[in-house]
Amino acid sequence: MTEFLLGAALFVLGTVALGLIRILRGPNDADRMLAAQLLGTGGVAVLLLLGVASGLGAVGDLALMLALLAAFASVAFVTGVARPQHQPKPVRDPDPLPRGDQA
Amino acid sequence: MSLALSVFTIVCVFLGAVFFLAGTLGLLRFPDTLTRLHALTKADNLGLGLVVLGLLPQVDWPLGALKLIAVWLLALLAGATVGQVLGGAVRPPPVSGAGESTP
Amino acid sequence: MSMSLGLVADSFLALLILGLAVWTIAVRGTYAAVVGFVAYGLLVALIWVRLAAVDVALTEAALGSGLMGLLLLRAVACLPPDAPAPASGRVGRVALRVVVGVLCAGLTAVLAAVVLQLPEPAPSLAAAAAQALPTTGLGNPVTGVLIAYRAIDTLLEAVVLVLALIGLWSLAADGAWGGRPGALRTREPGAALVLLAQLLPPVGILVGIHLFWTGANHPGGAFQGGAVLAAMWAIVLVAGLAAAPRVDGRRLRLVLVVGPALFFAIGLAGIWWADAFLGYPADWAKPLILVIEAALTLSIAAALGLLLAGPPASEPGPGGQA
């Protein structure tokens, strides 16, 4: 059983790593984010398999944390990307950061 | 009994791994971002779900099992949210100024 | 047999991570580089698990990949969109790159030489640390090192977080001083994001407290728990469910300093109780450590959350909204 779970972990890691080709190729940044997202979910599966296979109970906590934070990168990505479109001029006056809003 | 549970684990984890492979292939082969998003959010959550289902007989009840189920539920929530926000960001805005939140 | 499978997995991970690291540095687009960095952090966490260092993996996943990714993505959003990378071409830049490259290669060579020259059983304090662990009442040797054996390092780390926050706040414009940070606020969060920000924090707060509590005996601790709590705060701010607090609030500042201050106070008391600065009296070690860790978790969560939220950006008026 341990062998099988380790093998399955390796297989899942291999497939999501293959998905990283999407990070290299793009074409746009949302596609890259998709590949990172797949790596996140695949990483959670790999961790669960590894944790059960190696008897490291704490790996479950790590998987839990990764699942908890799984949406964060995409959310930050989207809110960051959306800003220049939805908000052409800065609304708050004393802007502390030098920002190029010439778009 | 233990043999039946082992077979159950092997079948479920194997199927889960197949879905990860399908998700990766979809991510790499589908033509545009929205269809890739579809492949990702469908397949990786089903893949993780089957891996979790398969691992359930191998962990201690009830805490370990509840943790596994919590991981999957969190991944589902993250996947659904990521699908929404990335889809909204990729889709061309309907009317300039109108928010993307209105259904 | 299991050994060889593990070796295949490790070699594969190592190659993957090297390739991704090189690509992240070489790629031109800033968003692409940050996405690469987030994926890289996930792989690093996997490597730490393979090395059976789950404590480090937790920290890497929460801070290295999670919060750093968030911070970098927000930073990219502040850069002008049509300047993905500083333009090259000037001779000075090329010379600078050559110098940096040579220095990095030299550093790598020195590190490699040091690793190769280590004696065969590498010097380790692990046995001594494990042997003395029962006196602390803890079950997790990493927490033992962090809060008991090398408590001074952890105390200074906790103080550094507060100093970093003061440094960040000092970037505020004069008129905005005392106001609310606004870097995480989004104009139109969207229904899905609001739902996420409503569902996730109850679970996340539970996980954060669990990580702090379990840190005494299993992988986890104040930094990991605090990072998860900070992430939950950040998602609430991003979705606009709550406004960031005014940076001149008394209660906020109390939360920020309670961890380091309590740690320092108990450490000082150790001079009388246990004959050493940062020493613990024998029977009281575990409860004192838990109290310190709890206060540290709170302070770290507040400091990390405020670091993500950015410098104060709005006038500290009576409404103070935007």
Whether residue A1 lies inside any domain: the answer is yes
B103: closest CA of chain A, how far (Å): 18
- Contact: B100, C199; criterion CB under 8 Å: no
Residues from chain C contacting residue B84 (CB–CB below 8 Å): 190-193
Alpha carbon of A31: minimum distance to chain B alpha carbons (Å): 6
Domain that residue A10 falls in: 1-78
Query: By the CB < 8 Å criterion, does A30 face chain B?
Result: yes
**C-beta contacts of C111-120 below 8 A and 24+ residues apart:** none
Q: What does pLDDT average to over chain B?
A: 84
Which of C1, C49, C50, C177 to probe by mutation at the A interface, max A CB count within 10 Å?
C49
Over the stretch C200-210, which tens digit does the pLDDT of each residue have?
A: 999 999 999 99
Q: Hunting for tokens 């004696």 — which residue is that?
A: C119
Tell me which of A52, A75, A83 to substitute to probe the interface with B (most B C-beta atoms closer than 10 Å): A52
At A34 the pLDDT is 87
Q: Closest CB to C313: pick one of A20, A94, A102.
A: A94
Q: Flag whether pLDDT at A89 surpasses 80.
A: no
Cα distance between residue C206 and residue A46, in whole Å: 24
- Structure confidence at residue A103 (pLDDT): 36
> 């966490």: which residue's tokens?
C45
Between A1, A41, A75, which is nearest B75 by CB? A41
Predicted local confidence at residue C244, as pLDDT: 85
> Angle, nearest 10°, between helix axes C222-238 and A72-86?
30
- Which of B4-13, B17-26, B69-78, C310-319 shows the lowest mean pLDDT across its residues? C310-319
> Own/partner pairs for C290-295, CB < 8 Å, 24+ apart?
C290/C216, C291/C262, C291/C266, C292/C147, C292/C259, C292/C262, C292/C263, C292/C266, C293/C143, C293/C147, C293/C212, C293/C215, C293/C216, C293/C221, C293/C222, C294/C212, C294/C222, C295/C258, C295/C259, C295/C262, C295/C263
Sign of CA dihedral C179, C183, C189, C195: negative
Q: Which positions in chain B touch C191 (Cβ < 8 Å)? A: 84, 101, 103
C276/C282 Cα distance (integer angstroms): 12
A83 found inside a domain: no
Nearest residue in A to B54, CA atom: A49
Shortest distance, CA C194 to any CA of chain B (angstroms): 10
Is the model's pLDDT at C92 over the cut of 80? no
First to last CA, chain C: 62
| Nearest one of C233, A1, A5 to B5, comparing CA atoms | A1
**What is the least distance, in Å, from the CA of B101 to any CA of chain A?**
13
Average pLDDT over residues C208-222: 89
Q: What residue type is C19 in one-letter code?
A: G
Q: What is the pLDDT of residue B103?
A: 44
The helix (run of H) or strand (run of E) holding residue B5 is helix B2-29
Average pLDDT, chain C: 86
Residue A59 included in any domain: yes
Q: Helix (H, G, I), strand (E, B), or coil: what is residue B74?
A: helix
Mean pLDDT lowest for which of A76-80, B46-50, C83-87, C225-229? C83-87
Work out the number of other CB atoms within 10 angstroms of the CB of residue C108: 10
Portion 185-244 of C in contact with B at CB < 8 A: 188-193, 195-196, 199-200, 203
Kindly give the residue spans of alpha helices, DSSP state H, lying in chain C. Answer: 2-26, 30-50, 54-59, 68-78, 91-116, 126-132, 141-143, 151-169, 191-214, 222-238, 250-273, 285-309
DSSP lists the bridge partners of residue C181 as: C312
Does the residue A40 lie in any domain?
yes
Q: Of all residues in chain C, what percent carry a pLDDT higher than 90?
A: 37
Counting every residue written for chain C, the total comes to 322
**What is the distance between the alpha carbons of residues A46 and C188, in angstroms, rounded to a whole number?**
35
Residue A10 in domain: yes
Contacts of C239 (CB under 8 A, 6+ apart): C186, C189, C193, C194, C196, C197, C198
Query: Is the pLDDT at C292 greater than 60, yes or no?
Result: yes
What would the mean pLDDT of B22-48 be, rounded to a whole number? 85
CA–CA gap between residue C15 and residue B55 (Å, rounded): 29
* Cβ count near C318 (within 10 Å): 6
- Delimit the domains of chain B by residue range: 3-87
Please report the pLDDT score of residue C303 as a whole number.
94
What's the confidence (pLDDT) of residue C243?
84
Considering only the beta carbons, identify the residue of B70, B81, B100 that sits closest to A64.
Answer: B70
Give the chain B residue whose CA is nearest to the CA of A31: B33
Q: What are phi and psi of C297, to 5 degrees?
A: -55, -45
Contact between residue B47 and residue B74 where contact means Cβ atoms under 8 Å apart: no
- CA A10 to chain C, closest CA, distance in angstroms equals 6
Overall domain count for chain A:
1
CB contact (8 A) between residue B81 and residue A71: yes
CB C30 within 8 A of CB C17: no
> Which token pair is B64?
């370990």
The verdict on a CB contact (< 8 Å) between A58 and C188 is: no
Average pLDDT over residues A67-72: 88
Flag if C196 and B77 touch (Cβ within 8 Å): yes
Mean per-residue pLDDT for B37-60? 87
Closest chain C residue by Cα to residue A57: C218
Token readout for C168 is 């960040």
pTM for the predicted model, two decimal places: 0.85
The number of residues in chain A equals 103
Q: Is residue A94 part of a domain?
A: no
**Contact: A34, B86; criterion CB under 8 Å:** yes
In 3D space, the residue among C202, C175, C217 whose CA is nearest the CA of residue C313 turns out to be: C175
Going by pLDDT thresholds of 50, 70 and 90, the confidence category of residue C319 is very low
